[in-house]
Amino acid sequence: MPFAWKVSWKDLPDGSKLVKLTRIEQGLTRRTARTVSYRLPPGETVPSLDYEFELAWKRANESPAKRKAREDREAARWKAFNHRQAEISVASRRWRLVSLIGRAVMVAATTAIVAGFVTVLITACLTGQPTSVSCGQVHPYAALGWSLMFGSLAPLLVGWAASNAPAWRQDAADAREAERRNEEELRSRREATSHYLAEFREQGYGAEAAGALASKRLRRRPQAACLASNGHRSRALGGNTTK
């Protein structure tokens, strides 16, 4: 059966906390309680949920070698995360510049098209011929106007594509990030399910009962991806003892 937890702590002068965590297991014939004490660094919150109790219990009982390995993995993960965020920031600035250049090209091309249209219209009004043709030839001013209009179509399309490129790139990046997080969540859920099944089978439950209990605990377990993206927990507790 799932464990019951009891936690209490004492504030230390340096801002850290001395936490006492008790795990209570109610068996068929006896009630077993074990207590561990550990020091919580300043700024960290005292565990208040089941998954936090389990994580704190595991970390309080791990060996120094495992603790160092875990801290090294966390440091490497945060270093990779910060590096990726820096790359994203630099790329975002570059793509914003591309978007601004594309919008400037669009404005210039639109201005040229309008100027060409006005030139053709004024030339047609002054020459008195709608087609701006005199003696079988196009009037020079009309030819200039037509050149401005048709010659600005390609820059207009290029500017439109450049101005929308950051949005297309962001959509593709969001899709890749969503796919990565979904895969990470599925992998985390599979690992957690295997761990819970093994734990309940060790406690003597059958396959069906262990599966049901593992599913129940998994539903109460928060998303690991959200915890990794947040990087911190901020929860207010009502007192110094939680049962």
Give pLDDT tens digits for 85-135: 787 777 778 888 888 888 888 899 899 889 888 888 888 787 766 555 554
The pLDDT of residue 27: 66
The pLDDT of residue 163: 83
Residues 6+ apart with CB under 8 A from 83: none
Q: Please answer whether residues 6 and 243 qualify as being in contact, where contact means their C-beta atoms are separated by less than 8 angstroms.
A: yes
Listed as ranges, residues in the chain with pLDDT below 50 are: 1, 135, 223-243
Rounded to two decimals, what is the model's pTM? 0.41
> What angle, rounded to 10 degrees, do the helices at 153-202 and 140-151 form?
10
The pLDDT of residue 221: 63
The pLDDT of residue 146: 83
The region that residue 37 occupies, defined by phi over 0 for left and psi between -120 and 50 for alpha, beta otherwise, is: beta
Nearest alpha-carbon partner for 164 in 90, 86, 106, 85: 106
The number of beta carbons lying within 10 Å of the beta carbon of residue 105 is: 20
Measure the CA–CA gap between 170 and 135, rounded to whole angstroms: 56
Look at residue 108 and give its three-state secondary structure: helix
Measure the CA–CA gap between 240 and 237, rounded to whole angstroms: 8
The pLDDT of residue 96: 82
The pLDDT of residue 145: 82
For residue 220, give Cα distances in angstroms to 54, 217, 243. Answer: 12, 5, 17
